[in-house]
Amino acid sequence: MTAKKKTKSVKKAERWQDVDVHELAKLEINQRLTDEEKVRLYTDMVRIRRFEGRSLRSYQEGKIGGFLHLYEGQEACAVGTISLLGADDHVITAYRDHGHALAVGMSMNECMAEMYGKHTGCSKGKGGSMHFFAPDKNYWGGHGIVGGQIPLGTGIAFALKRQGKKGCCLAYMGDGAINQGAVHEAYNLAGLWDLPVIFIIENNAYSMGTSQARSSAYPECLAQRAEAYGMDWDTVNGNILYDVRAKTYEAIKRAHEESRPTVLEVFTYRYRGHSVADANHEKYRSKDEILDYKENKDPITLTRKQFIEEGVLTEESAKDIDKAAMEEATASAEFADKSPFPPATSILEDTYWSMDNKGQDPQIDELNQGRFIFEDGGVYDK
């Protein structure tokens, strides 16, 4: 396998890129959306927004433990990119994973219950907010260590190629992850071996509390580092759903048809802190900056405006969608609240496949005779 080196001329990327929505709407990939599909995309964005709002409340009520990394402000990225995926396309992301989870079709109930640490959660209360998984929907998490999921996503792409499938893997990361070594090792492997992976940097401007200017040696454009690895790259206005779809579509085509990787840098913005515990988020950035994004660049507002203009939505129908999303989110919190915690015995379960599947395959059982798993008698009496 030889890497085809395709590079672009250096360009300075602007955080706020003016794109012409009307021109983007004319692109084939956006033209092909039916009215119904557009409503679905809008609804999914609103559902994420309302779900996050409700989970924040639950966190403040003490129902959700640990960390809570909210996705409010970034909805168009998850919804727009995932709207293009087919049966053999896969998704893996970092710890700000609620938006992607809902976008791939996970239910609010299983996600909320997971954060409540309940047995009905998608990971049976074993993963929490940062570790949502749904392999049946090609959704591979939900990973807590910055950049750690990127080699995994590259491996998913490797497997797809090896299995002769025309699929790809969207591997999401934040702008902070770009300075992790594992990311660069994965970049090199993807470029070297022509892997159908799309690295999506959701650039929300801050690596926790540190701006790019203070964390990256070349902060003007993070995607451009792709050139060092012979990969194509592009930048995206993450507040414009049509732009997200247009650029992602090109990358997916490249992955499917040429088995080539792409780096996309999606400029977006998070309204909340790095996590809810981030008490300084109005200190390392100004209130005006947050307000500017909320009032002028909000992806949901901009999408609504466009869809109303197109006659797909009305103010009324948009309100109904919002109301339904709020109700769904409220119901998910009630569901989570009422759900039982996992039994203490479940602490040991799901550690080893071979323990959990005893009796299903005699050959495997034979292989695993004599297994001993250390256990804490105080927690679990056999």
Partner 1 sequence: MPQITYRQAIKEALAEEIERDPNVFVMGEEVAQYNGAYKVTEGLWEKYGDKHLVDAPISEAGFIGLGIGASMLGMRPVMEFMFWSFCYVAFDQLLNNGSFCRYMSGGLMNVPIVVRGPANGGTNVGATHSHTPENLCANHPGIKVVCPSNAADAKGLMKTAIRDNDPVFVMENTVLYGQKWEVPEEEYLIPMGKANILKEGKDISLIAHGRAAITALEAAGKLAEEYDIDAEVLDLRSIRPLDVEAILATVKKTNRVVYVEENKPFASVGAQITSIIQEEAFDYLDAPILRVSTIDAPQIYSMPLEKIQIPDADRVVKKVLKIC
**Which residues of the shown chain bind partner 1 in the complex (CB under 8 A)?**
1, 90, 92, 121-127, 131, 133-136, 140-145, 148-160, 162-163, 169, 181-182, 184-186, 188-189, 192, 349-354, 356-357, 364, 366-374
CB of 320 to partner 1, least distance (A): 34
Give Cβ neighbours of residue 347 (< 8 Å, ≥ 6 apart).
379, 380
Give Cβ neighbours of residue 137 (< 8 Å, ≥ 6 apart).
104, 105, 106
Nearer to partner 1 by Cβ, of 219 and 342: the residue is 342
Nearer to partner 1 by Cβ, of 79 and 252: the residue is 252
Euclidean distance between CA atoms 161 and 6, whole angstroms: 20
Nearer to partner 1 by Cβ, of 121 and 273: the residue is 121
CB of 198 to partner 1, least distance (A): 14
CB of 221 to partner 1, least distance (A): 23
Nearer to partner 1 by Cβ, of 125 and 238: the residue is 125
Beta bridge partners of 200: 172, 264
Largest CA distance in the chain: 68
CB of 359 to partner 1, least distance (A): 14
Nearer to partner 1 by Cβ, of 188 and 211: the residue is 188
Nearer to partner 1 by Cβ, of 218 and 372: the residue is 372
- Residue 133 · residue 141 · CB < 8 Å: yes
Nearer to partner 1 by Cβ, of 74 and 154: the residue is 154
Question: Contacts by 17-22 with C-beta closer than 8 Å and gap 24+?
Answer: 17/235, 17/236, 17/237, 17/243, 17/267, 18/237, 19/237, 19/240, 19/243, 21/240, 21/242, 21/302, 21/306
CB of 87 to partner 1, least distance (A): 13
Nearer to partner 1 by Cβ, of 315 and 366: the residue is 366
Euclidean distance between CA atoms 132 and 144, whole angstroms: 10
Nearer to partner 1 by Cβ, of 319 and 371: the residue is 371
CB of 348 to partner 1, least distance (A): 9
CB of 125 to partner 1, least distance (A): 8
Question: Contacts by 134-138 with C-beta closer than 8 Å and gap 24+?
Answer: 134/101, 134/104, 134/105, 134/106, 137/104, 137/105, 137/106, 138/85, 138/89, 138/90, 138/91, 138/104
Nearer to partner 1 by Cβ, of 124 and 305: the residue is 124
**Which of these, 83, 73, 37, 82, lies nearest to 310 by C-alpha position?**
37
CB of 52 to partner 1, least distance (A): 21
Euclidean distance between CA atoms 255 and 17, whole angstroms: 25
**C-alpha angle 232/238/242, rounded to 5°?**
85
CB of 345 to partner 1, least distance (A): 14
CB of 257 to partner 1, least distance (A): 21
Chain centroid, CA 44 distance in Å: 13
Helix (H, G, I), strand (E, B) or coil at 207: strand
Q: At what angle do helices 299-309 and 75-82 cross, to 10 degrees?
A: 60
Q: In what helix (H) or strand (E) does residue 247 lie, and over which residues does it extend? A: helix 241-258
Would you call 67 exposed, middle or buried from its count of C-beta atoms within 10 A (0-12, 13-18, 19+)? middle
Q: Name the phi and psi angles at 188, rounded to 5.
A: -60, -45
